[in-house]
């Protein structure tokens, strides 16, 4: 059993906590100033509190507040060298956090799918412990990277779910336009993305080979693929990733300038 505190039980902290609760094997302390946020995770936590000092009793403390208040929350935390602090705030450098706590610090970029055990995450090599590796494994897949790659990870897997939701919605709209009712169209579109993602993860073939496998000669798929290949759809996705990466770098610059 690992004693884990989550400080900030909003969208991301709440998803992480719910994902960890699935195993039923941890002591989970949910910490938030907002009673409504605590209420939303109460069924998944061992205890809920608005007192950040409760984090002192945990092996691992997950700091899941907005980047601009991370510094203030860290100022109130009095952790020891035996504890590990996991910071997941976009653009907040590991050094900034490590400079404000005695705890071992690891920076990660998770995503909302932690809630269902399907998170894609990146963790900095520096500060990563086996205890944290085990927690990340429990809620999905993670890769270990140098911190300089954290901005692109933030864009690809941190912001990525929003980009994927957008694409699923476009596929759903195509189904509705063809006559499916919205609920059926959403099920078919979302399950198709889920299945396709699972295939890419499990199948040894390249994405190009997998596209070939769906395109029957003179069939339906090639007609649609020709439309996509003639469009700028791939460039739009690359541009979206680049814009999110740029913003992550901007957030980090604010910390380098000592603004936070």
Ligand X SMILES: NC(=O)C1=CN([C@@H]2O[C@H](COP(=O)(O)OP(=O)(O)OC[C@H]3O[C@@H](n4cnc5c(N)ncnc54)[C@H](O)[C@@H]3O)[C@@H](O)[C@H]2O)C=CC1
Ligand Y SMILES: O=C(O)[C@@H]1CCC=N1
154 in contact with ligand Y (CB under 6 A):
yes
Tell me the closest approach of the beta carbon of residue 149 to ligand Y, in angstroms: 15
> Cβ 36 to ligand Y, closest distance in Å?
20
Residues between 78 and 117 that touch ligand X (CB under 6 A) = 88-90, 109-112
To the question of whether residue 66 is assigned a binding role by annotation, the answer is: yes
Calculate the alpha carbon distances from 245 to 10, 51, 103, 107 in Å: 23, 34, 28, 16
How many other β-carbons are positioned within 10 Å of the β-carbon of residue 241?
Answer: 17
Is 7 annotated for ligand binding? yes
**Residue 31 binds what, of ligand X, ligand Y, none (CB under 5 to 8 Å, by partner type)?**
ligand X
> Applying CB under 6 A, does 158 fall inside the site for ligand Y?
yes
From the list ligand X, ligand Y, none, pick the one residue 69 interacts with, judged by a Cβ distance below 5 to 8 Å according to partner type: ligand X
What are the two backbone dihedrals, phi and then psi, of residue 118, each rounded to the nearest 5 degrees? -115, 25
C-beta of 79 vs 156, nearer to ligand Y: 156
Tell whether 190 is in a known binding site: no
Which residue sits closest to ligand X, CB atoms considered?
10
CA distances from 83 to 29, 104, 221 (A): 15, 6, 53
Residue whose CB is less far from ligand X, 106 or 109? 109
State the Cα angle at 90 between 85 and 96, rounded to 5°.
50
Report whether 95 contacts 107 (CB < 8 A): no
Q: Is 203 left (phi over 0), alpha (psi -120 to 50) or beta?
A: beta
List contacts with ligand Y (CB under 6 A): 90, 154, 158-159
């Amino acid at each position: 059993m690992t004693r884990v505190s989550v400080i900030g039980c909003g969208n991301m902290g709440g998803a992480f906590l719910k994902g960890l609760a699935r195993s039923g094997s941890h002591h989970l302390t949910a910490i938030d100033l907002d009673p409504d946020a605590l209420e939303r995770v109460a069924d998944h936590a061992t205890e809920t509190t608005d007192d950040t000092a409760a984090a002192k009793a945990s092996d691992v403390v997950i700091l899941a507040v907005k980047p601009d208040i991370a510094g203030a929350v860290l100022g109130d935390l009095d952790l020891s060298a035996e504890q590990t602090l996991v910071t997941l705030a976009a653009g907040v450098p590991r050094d900034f956090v490590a400079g404000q706590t005695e705890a071992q610090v690891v920076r990660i970029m998770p995503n909302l799918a932690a809630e269902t055990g399907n998170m894609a995450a990146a963790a900095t090599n520096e500060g990563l412990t086996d205890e944290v590796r085990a927690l990340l494994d429990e809620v999905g897949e993670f890769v270990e990277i140098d911190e300089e790659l954290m901005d692109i990870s933030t864009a690809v897997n941190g912001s990525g779910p929003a980009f994927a939701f957008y694409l699923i919605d476009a596929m759903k709209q195509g189904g509705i336009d063809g006559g499916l009712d919205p609920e059926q169209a959403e099920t078919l579109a979302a399950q198709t993305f889920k299945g396709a993602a699972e295939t890419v993860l499990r199948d040894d073939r390249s994405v190009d080979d997998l596209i070939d496998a769906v395109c029957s000669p003179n069939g339906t798929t090639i007609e649609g693929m020709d439309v996509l290949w003639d469009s700028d759809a791939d460039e739009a996705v690359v541009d979206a990733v680049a814009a999110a990466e740029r913003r992550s770098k901007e957030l980090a610059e604010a910390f380098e300038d000592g603004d936070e």
